[in-house]
Amino acid sequence: MSQATNQSWGGRFSEPTDAFVARFTASVNFDQRLAPQDIQGSIAHATMLARVGVLTDDERDAIINGLNEIQGEIERGEFNWSVPLEDVHMNIEARLTEKIGITGKKLHTGRSRNDQVATDIRLFMRDEIDVIEVELKRLREGMIELADREAETIMPGFTHLQTAQPVTFGHHILAWQEMLARDHERLLDCRKRGNVMPLGAAALAGTTYPIDRHVTAELLGFDRPTENSLDAVSDRDFAIEFTSFASILLMHLSRMSEELVLWTSAQFNFIDLPDRFCTGSSIMPQKKNPDVPELVRGKTGRVYGHLISLLTLMKSQPLAYNKDNQEDKEPLFDAVDTVRDCLKAFADMVPAIEPKKASMYEAARRGFSTATDLADYLVRKGVAFRDAHEIVGQSVAYGLKSEKDLSEMSLDELKQFSDTIEQDVFEVLTLEGSVAARNHIGGTAPNQVRAAAQRAREALSALKAGA
Ligand code: ARG
């Protein structure tokens, strides 16, 4: 059966749209997610049109009441979405006209779907950013508290994934928190730059009606109207900025995930994750798999994909609106959903991390992690650093052969390598001495970690007060 010509724009057409083309060009199956924002935008537009005298107050009220009823129908799942009506915008407008008659057809005065959809997505992004920000704050808080609790817990720090120097577990967790603090700034920056109002740009050139774009901007909580109508209908930078934020965030979460996966392995044995964040194996009864961090690590790839999709979507696009832009929604929606879920998973999981302190401590003792401390000790006694490096290298070689850590050697054993070594060396060779000695801002000493946690807490609540 042939498709009816779309009534919203069918005037100049002499044959109906091909049935496949109608399906191919329709976006309603995914953009119906923008219905709340579409209705919110239409209510503001109608309110503004009445304020400038383009609609009567009665017409405005009929439109607003109709739109509110439609919102209810959608929420209750009673709304009948129609593919021939193409997209969320025309579905809602057609239903409005069905409900309130000719007045419904006046809503689109001084507007185009081009500025309408640009507005809808900006409103959507702003709403989603606010939800995402709640989860991000919750995760940061969880990390700060975990770090504070574990300010004295000693673990090996790594470079090249080889034991390097002892650090505190709290210090390591605060390193994660720093990554998220930067992501948080990027998110708020993206929200701010995206919070501008396209309505009034109409199709591309603006509109002949005496609209007041400042009124619409204020009604919708935007900071200001967009400056240029051509740019307003074509700009999708905000979606690219969001997926950039999302990609960097997921890159960070994937790094944390990787460490969690390593740490829960029998080989590292640094932490336990509660059973509720793990699953078993259908064949190997002993298995407890860290699925949540593994999945977050895996989901990072799809978010990078969405960033590349959007960048490529916009590459070389001439001004102004092009139908290509209909392809902006699915990547953005999926990026939003993925980020929100991954943050929620992490915010739930991080406070529940159970460090296996004895095992971390043992691991820190095993890899000659205080070798640099011994070198620094020799330098303080007047040995040149290069010579100290050589002396410690020989001590490590002896330790490898005799299977002894530096702190396990006797004074006589150590003295084989340098006469300068005295009884006081054992203060620096202990793990506690090693971390406590890194006692400056940004260092791993327990008191520094507690102070850093306190500063992070204050920075986070200052952000909350400002938001
Ligand atoms: N569904 C369209 C989109 O998502 C809405 C704008 C359509 N505008 C147009 N002139 N066909 O981009």
pTM of the model: 0.94
For residue 326, the CA-to-ligand 1 centroid distance in Å is 6
For residue 116, the CA-to-ligand 1 centroid distance in Å is 9
For residue 54, the CA-to-ligand 1 centroid distance in Å is 25
Q: What is the mean pLDDT of residues 87-100?
A: 98
Closest residue by CA, ligand 1 atom 4: 326
Q: What is the mean pLDDT of residues 90-108?
A: 98
Q: What pLDDT score does 2 carry?
A: 37
SS (H, E, C) the chain: CCCCCCCCCHHHCCCCCCHHHHHHHCCHHHHHHHHHHHHHHHHHHHHHHHHCCCCCHHHHHHHHHHHHHHHHHHHCCCCCCCHHHCCHHHHHHHHHHHHHHHHHHHCCCCCCHHHHHHHHHHHHHHHHHHHHHHHHHHHHHHHHHHHHHCCCCEEEEEECCEEEEEEEHHHHHHHHHHHHHHHHHHHHHHHHHHCEECCCCCCCCCCCCCCCHHHHHHHCCCCEECCCHHHHHHCCHHHHHHHHHHHHHHHHHHHHHHHHHHHHCCCCCCEECCHHHCECCCCCCCCCECHHHHHHHHHHHHHHHHHHHHHHHHCCCCCCCCHHHHHHHHHHHHHHHHHHHHHHHHHHHHHHCEECHHHHHHHHHHCCCCHHHHHHHHHHCCCCHHHHHHHHHHHHHHHHHHCCCHHHCCHHHHHCCCCCCCCCHHHHHCHHHHHHHCCCCCCCCHHHHHHHHHHHHHHHHHHHHHC
pLDDT tens digits, 137-166: 999 999 999 999 999 999 999 999 999 999
For residue 115, the CA-to-ligand 1 centroid distance in Å is 9
Mutate which of 38, 90, 92, 117 for ligand 1 pocket (most atoms within 8 A of beta carbon): 117
Q: What pLDDT score does 17 carry?
A: 87
Ligand 1 is surrounded, with C-beta below 6 A, by 27, 31, 87, 113-114, 117, 321, 323, 325-326
48-62, 106-120, 290-304, 452-466 — which is least confidently predicted? 452-466
Closest residue by CA, ligand 1 atom 3: 326
Q: What pLDDT score does 7 carry?
A: 66
Q: What is the mean pLDDT of residues 30-48?
A: 98
Q: What pLDDT score does 285 carry?
A: 79
- Mean pLDDT of all residues belonging to the chain: 95
Q: What is the mean pLDDT of residues 241-270?
A: 98
For residue 6, the CA-to-ligand 1 centroid distance in Å is 14
Q: What pLDDT score does 11 carry?
A: 81
pLDDT tens digits, 296-355: 999 999 999 999 999 999 999 999 999 999 999 999 999 999 999 999 999 999 999 999
Q: How confident is the model at residue 51 (pLDDT cuts 50, 70, 90)?
A: very high
Evaluate if residue 65 carries a pLDDT over 60: yes
* Enzyme catalytic residues: 160, 281
Q: For the chain, what percent of residues have pLDDT higher than 90?
A: 90
Mutate which of 32, 86, 87 for ligand 1 pocket (most atoms within 8 A of beta carbon): 87
Q: What pLDDT score does 10 carry?
A: 80
- Nearest ligand 1 atom to the CA of 329 is 4
For residue 117, the CA-to-ligand 1 centroid distance in Å is 7
Q: How confident is the model at residue 1 (pLDDT cuts 50, 70, 90)?
A: very low
Q: What pLDDT score does 3 carry?
A: 43
Residue-range domains of the chain with CATH: 4-109 (1.10.275.10), 114-207+228-362 (1.20.200.10), 368-464 (1.10.40.30)
- Nearest ligand 1 atom to the CA of 27 is 1
